Amino acid sequence: MADYRPQHLDTKWQQQWTSGGVFEVDIDPSRPKFYCLEMFAYPSGHAHVGHVRNYIIGDVMARMKRMRGFNVLHPFGWDAFGLPAENAAIKTGTHPETSTLGNIAHMKGQLQRLGISYAWAREIATCLPEYYKFNQWIFLKMYERGLAYRRRSSVNWCPSCKTVLANEQVIDGACWRCGSIVVARDLEQWFFRITQYADELLEGLEALPGWPEKVVVMQRNWIGRSEGARVKFQLVGEPRAAAARSTAGGGTAHVEVFTTRIDTIYGANFIVLSPEHPLVEQFAAGASDLSARAQAFRSQDREARMAGKEGFDTGRQALNPFTGQPVPIWVGNFVLAEYGTGAVMGVPGHDQRDFEFAKAYNLPITIVVQPEDAPMSSATLTEAHEGAGRLVNSGEYDGLSWTEANRRMTRAAAERGIGEGTVQYRLKDWGISRQRYWGTPIPIIYCEKDGVVPAPYEQLPVELPRVDTFTGLGDSPLAQVPEFVNVTCPRCGGPARRETDTMDTFVDSSWYFLRFTDPTNVEIPFDPAAAAYWMPVDFYSGGVEHAILHLLYSRFFTRVLGDVGLVTFDEPFKRLLTQGMVLKNGAVMSKSKGNVVDPDDMLQKYGADALRLYVMFVAPPEKEIEWSDAGLEGSFRFLFRVWRLVDHWAETIGGDGIPACDDETCTESERTLRRKTHDTIRRVTTDIEERVHLNTAVSSLMELVNALYAFSETTRHGAPTRAEPPIGRVERPQTIAALREAIDALVAMIAPFAPHTAEELWLMLGHTEGLTFAPWPLFDPEVARADEIVVPVQVNGKVRARLTVAAGLSEDELRERALADPVVRTHTDGKAIRKVVVANGTLVSVVVS
């Protein structure tokens, strides 16, 4: 018997694939395309089994689709900018570029040793000028369209990473990367106006049936659209001077609130401002301790603000525009400055937060919406009534339903010029400035005379200067490189300074999937024709941790690039799979926990195919899995079992001149084998292509192997065992034909999972063309059709008998046979048969009493 030496096969076939360039692709309009993509990797140094699982999932899809005749684009690249490399440089002195390129080389080797079928000619790394040049190009396009803008703003500052974080990068008030508590800081920042696309991004979610519902919901919540109204409350007794300023700017004579419940406005007994609200300082001009108290709130961190509602009365009042009554204006630490108008109307009867605030500070509570079944009184109220009802204490609106009142009052506010219906989003503009070195320089120049001047396109890329010492101290590292900072203004030729911040690395990953369609273009990010052919990505897989950040930004960029004229579609990812994590000892693998499973160790022991197969078989791709050495060994045993099977039969059934299958002359067991073969083809095909249930695809293949062993037992050649020599040679043409059909199909369908072993077995069977583009086995429903079926018979819902009958028996015959069955009769005798249901010819259900 030929030895099964998987490590040897790995090397052999990987060399063949690489030297033949078989995974490289070109545009071919004559064939259907399939763009298969796994989220590219941050080059941390070592890929562990958790990362690798994702690449294997994609590889199974890609290899299967190739065999199905698709022109498959399956590229890979590196999300190569980022903090860890720079932090390592501060610690060890190794330049980020050196460590990053070294890590890429190592990880690329790991992926190649797994036999992942990437088109490596299209490899990209975002830290290379050829790539980030187009981050800058896109930035300039956005700047021209007003989609990139600069403003001073309070930003999330991570004191440990010494940089600004996007809202998306703040988790529970802490830095997403290092966990330090984030503090507020005022800085000039560049922003992308993603909010301009809020509605489009929200509506686009409806057109993503191929996305997990979970991710769609997360994005919908993140965008957080709410319909409501802005309403102005006139300030009472605002000094003339301040009121006058309102026309000149800087001061105002009213306070504007945002509410989704204008129907409750007759119950608005107070106003609460956020501590950051401009009116606070305006009021403080007359009463200076206000300023200090507001400042105390402002300096509270998120945690403290969440801990409890606190507030104070400013002593000022505003007129409720509907009741005409004055209400006090308070400042509350729980009111968010950045949402709505930064001021809310307090309706304690119908908003739980306002209720708690009113109880704490003894503010009056008015009920203005009464539920119809159980009327409440403000004296006995224990919590706010936030639900439905009819209006009371609301003047001319009394008696209206809350929804109707909402409509009418919004209209009335608009007519009176005191408010308007409006839509608010939770989504905020995307702050992209980072005070770090290892990222894309923002292509902006500040000229004393001309102000903000974009770098001219012909000067791109604005290259990242070489910096050799990393201290991690001070502001942007680029600010410390005079030859980078000092430039001449492209407009006037005078002295100017470059922007020294770099871009958030999420910019890099927001369009890399487009770059893969045309990775070497030096003029523009990519050729629109290439994108038109390859996009959208048909199958995209990666971790669910990117459900909001990366996937939302990418959808935003795709729309922007559509406006720029580079693409003609809105949604970049047609089907999204969020793969589960790989756990070891119940925990996510990490260096610090010391529970990392290194794929290279597994390759050495069992070869790439056993690892690939195991990871696919152990659970559905979306589920998290617990790593098991025993399971891996099981997969190895299975492959060895396949190897023995093929080796055992190769001489008999291999090569040319094998007769075609012919059901007319088949024995029963040959028919059974053929049926199993085609049933397996059907199941494996839909499991991979439609359901992406890769684990059940593997188990179907295992069943086919078991069937082949059972079939082998019935022949003179016997089952494949290591020890026993065959009893005799099989010469019967139909046996050979059925075996050939089954084993060819088996080897072909195993190929996406275990490509190295499959290629070798394919060769052993006498095929001269490789498996990469071998046609996927064709399902023949005629062959798969059963002659006999087993029909269970239920009596009162319990299975009492199983009838083996010819397929296609009529319902009447089935009914008759079922009722005649002796076991069924023991349960029906002496009882009245109420009903007999024959369910689509495959089950009989008898009801007796």
Partner RNA sequence: GCGGAAGUGGCGGAACGGCAGACGCGCUAGCCUCAGGAGCUAGUUGGGGAAACUCAGUGGGGGUUCGAAUCCCCCCUUCCGCACCA
Between residue 55 and residue 94, which ones bind RNA under the rule CB under 7 A?
none
Q: Which of 3, 26, 206, 213 binds RNA (CB under 7 A)?
A: 213
| C-alpha span between 513 and 554 (Å, rounded) | 9
Amino acid occupying residue 280:
V
Residues whose CB falls within 8 Å of the CB of residue 813, separated by 6 or more in sequence, listed in order: 805
Q: Does 722 bind RNA (CB under 7 A)?
A: yes
Return the structure tokens found at 677: 């073969």
Answer for which of 86, 95, 800, 818 binds RNA (CB under 7 A) is 800
CA angle 796, 799, 804 (to 5 degrees): 130
**How far is it, in rounded angstroms, from Cα 537 to Cα 72?**
11
Q: Exposed, middle or buried: residue 204 (CB in 10 Å: 0-12, 13-18, 19+)?
A: middle
Choice from 527, 796, 805, 825 touching RNA (CB under 7 A)? 796
251 is a site residue for RNA (CB under 7 A): no
In the complex, minimum distance from the CB of residue 86 to RNA, in angstroms, rounded to a whole number: 25
Phi and psi at 667, nearest 5°, equal -80, 170
Of 253 and 805, CB closest to RNA: 805
- Show the site string, 352-381: x = touches RNA by CB under 7 A, - = not: -x----------------------------
Restricting to residues 545-584, which ones interact with RNA according to CB under 7 A? 548
CA-CA distance, 83 to 405, in Å (whole number)? Answer: 53
Q: How far is CA 800 from the centre of its chain?
A: 48
Interaction between residue 719 and RNA (CB under 7 A): yes
For RNA, the closer of residues 261 and 498 by Cβ is 261
Which amino acid is residue 343, in one-letter code?
A: A
Q: How many CA atoms lie within 13 A of 51 on its CB side?
A: 22
- From 64-72, 213-221, 318-326, 558-566, give the range in contact with RNA by CB under 7 A: 213-221
Minimum gap (Å) between residue 232 Cβ and RNA: 15
**Residue 423, interface with RNA (CB under 7 A)?**
no
Position 19: which residue type? S
**Token code pair at residue 366:** 């008015």
Q: Which two tokens stand for residue 770?
A: 């490789």
Site string for RNA, 224-243 (x = CB under 7 A): x-x-x---------------
Task: Give the pair of three-digit tokens for residue 154.
Answer: 């309070």
Nearest-approach distance from CB 588 to RNA, in angstroms: 9
Q: Does 620 bind RNA (CB under 7 A)?
A: yes
Take residue 452 and report the two structure tokens written for it.
């903000």
The 3-state DSSP class for residue 287 equals: coil
Cβ proximity to RNA: between 135 and 828 the closer is 828
Q: In whole angstroms, what is the distance from residue 298 CA to residue 766 CA?
A: 77
What is d(CA 614, CA 598) in angstroms, rounded to the nearest whole number?
15
Q: Which residues, in sequence order, are bridge partners of residue 626? A: 583
Is 335 near RNA (CB under 7 A)? yes
Among 149, 339, 361, 569, binds RNA (CB under 7 A): 339
Cα–Cα distance between 131 and 129 in angstroms, integer?
A: 5
Residue pair 708/742 in contact (Cβ under 8 Å)? The answer is yes
- The verdict on 753 binding RNA (CB under 7 A) reads no
Residue 58 CB-half CA count within 13 A: 36
Residue (455 or 701) nearer to RNA, CB: 701
121, 207, 296, 336: which one binds RNA (CB under 7 A): 336
State yes or no: residue 792 binds RNA (CB under 7 A): yes
Select from 172, 188, 199, 420 the one that contacts RNA (CB under 7 A). 172
Q: Pick the closer one to RNA by CB: 99 or 509.
A: 509
**Stretch touching RNA by CB under 7 A, among 121-129, 134-142, 217-225, 410-418:** 217-225
Residue from 236, 721, 727, 788 touching RNA (CB under 7 A): that is 721
Report d(CA 291, CA 289) in Å as an integer. Answer: 5
**Closest CB 281 distance from RNA, rounded Å:** 18
Q: Reduced to 3 states, what is the DSSP secondary structure of residue 228?
A: strand
Q: Does residue 259 interact with RNA by CB under 7 A?
A: yes
CB of residue 108 to RNA, shortest distance in Å:
30
Site membership for RNA, residue 394 (CB under 7 A): no
* Gap between the Cα atoms of 149 and 5, Å rounded: 60
Under the binding rule (CB under 7 A), the answer on residue 529 touching RNA is: no
Is residue 741 classed as helix, strand or coil in its secondary structure? helix
Q: Are strands 124-125 and 77-78 parallel, antiparallel or unpaired?
A: parallel
The answer to whether residue 625 forms part of the interface with RNA (CB under 7 A) is: yes
- From 403-411, 513-521, 601-609, 790-798, span contacting RNA (CB under 7 A): 790-798
> Looking only at residues 314 through 333 of this chain, which bind RNA when binding is defined by CB under 7 A?
333
Enclosing H/E stretch for 319: strand 311-319
724 lines the binding site for RNA (CB under 7 A): yes
* Member of 69, 93, 308, 655 binding RNA (CB under 7 A): 308
Nearer to RNA, 208 or 467 (CB): 208
Rank residues 442 and 615 by Cβ distance to RNA and give the closer one. 615
278 part of the interface to RNA, by CB under 7 A: no
644 binds RNA (CB under 7 A): yes
Q: Which long-range contacts (CB under 8 A, 24 or more apart) does 788-792 make?
A: 789/842, 791/818, 791/841, 791/842, 791/843, 791/844, 792/843, 792/844
CB of 274 to RNA, least distance (A): 6
Main-chain phi, psi angles of 835, to 5 degrees: -165, 145
Interaction of residue 312 with RNA, rule CB under 7 A: no
Total residues contacting RNA (rule CB under 7 A)? 92
Figure out which of the listed residues 121, 217, 452, 786 binds RNA, where binding follows CB under 7 A.
217
Contact 559, 595 (CB under 8 A): no
- Applying CB under 7 A, which part among 182-190, 253-261, 442-450, 487-495 lies near RNA? 253-261
Which position among 15, 628, 667, 810 is part of the footprint of RNA (CB under 7 A)?
A: 628
Strand, helix or coil for residue 143: helix
Question: Any contact of residue 702 with RNA (CB under 7 A)?
Answer: yes
Torsions phi, psi of 454, nearest 5? -70, 145
Q: Which of 178, 307, 807, 833 binds RNA (CB under 7 A)?
A: 307
Q: Which residues from 827-846 bind RNA, rule CB under 7 A?
A: 827, 835, 837, 839-840, 842-843, 845
Which of 634, 654, 733, 766 is in the footprint of RNA by CB under 7 A? 634
Residue closer to RNA by CB (options 244, 306) is: 306
